[in-house]
Amino acid sequence: MNEIDVLSVFCAPDGGHGNKLGVVRDGSRCPDVASRQALAGELGFSETVFVDDPERGHLDIYTPGRRLPFAGHSLVGTAWLLDIDVLELAVGDVFARQDGEFTWITARAEWAPQRQIRRYASAADVDALPSPPPGEGWLYAWAWEDEAAGRVRARGFPRRDDGIAEDEATGAAALLLTAELGRALNITQGRGSQLLTAPAPDGTIELGGRVRFAG
């Protein structure tokens, strides 16, 4: 049996909510893509990470149905769990840091898989969406809660056949929205998860949130 840590990533200020993440600390126990994909499908979390080298932060990320080159909530959660400063991915090195109750990673929006980023007139309109809304393709629905303060209400819908009707907290989409708007954001997604972002002059974006072991 694989040793699997189950985390909640991008928790609310009270420690609740967050997106579940499975982390297999010893990736060698699932040595190939097929076995990793099978385990990710069995677990059914939006993402599962296999750690191939904990000292170098060499990771392999899967949804229940596919392999991903990059995923924000996976990296924030794994950086917190392993307490390391660099995560090695094929897209590039992702730097991480701890700051009080928050774990931050530094990444680029172009590393994130593309989503449909759709603005709605109000947070109430986002709340009223069915899960998932009709249509095809990954949808990130958002609206301003307080534009001056950078507060956003968002929900994420993969709309793919893998059992995930709605993603509770989506770091990659938060990076894409931050790049589009060009400003720091405080995002409430799903049932109440919180994601923070801060763009830098060099084109990178910091993405942060709270991580806990799932209860």
CATH number of the domain residue 170 falls in: 3.10.310.10
Q: What is the pLDDT along the chain (215 residues), one digit of tens a residue?
A: 458 999 999 999 999 999 999 999 999 999 999 999 999 999 999 999 999 999 999 999 999 999 999 999 999 999 999 999 999 998 999 999 999 999 999 999 999 999 999 999 999 999 999 999 999 999 999 999 999 999 999 999 999 988 999 999 999 999 999 999 999 999 999 999 999 999 999 999 999 999 999 97
Which residue has tokens 């995923």?
71
Q: What is the pLDDT of residue 2?
A: 59
What is the secondary structure of 60-110 as a DSSP string? Answer: EEE-SS-EES--HHHHHHHHHHHT-SEEEETTEEEEEEEETTEEEEEE-GG
Number of domains forming the structure of the chain: 1
Nearest-10 Cα torsion for 5, 107, 173, 72: 0
Say how far apart CA 178 and CA 200 lie, in whole Å.
Answer: 11
Task: Enter the pTM of the model.
Answer: 0.96
Residue pair 171/149 in contact (Cβ under 8 Å)? The answer is no
Residue pair 214/20 in contact (Cβ under 8 Å)? The answer is yes
Host domain of residue 109: 1-215
Tokens of 96: 């991480």
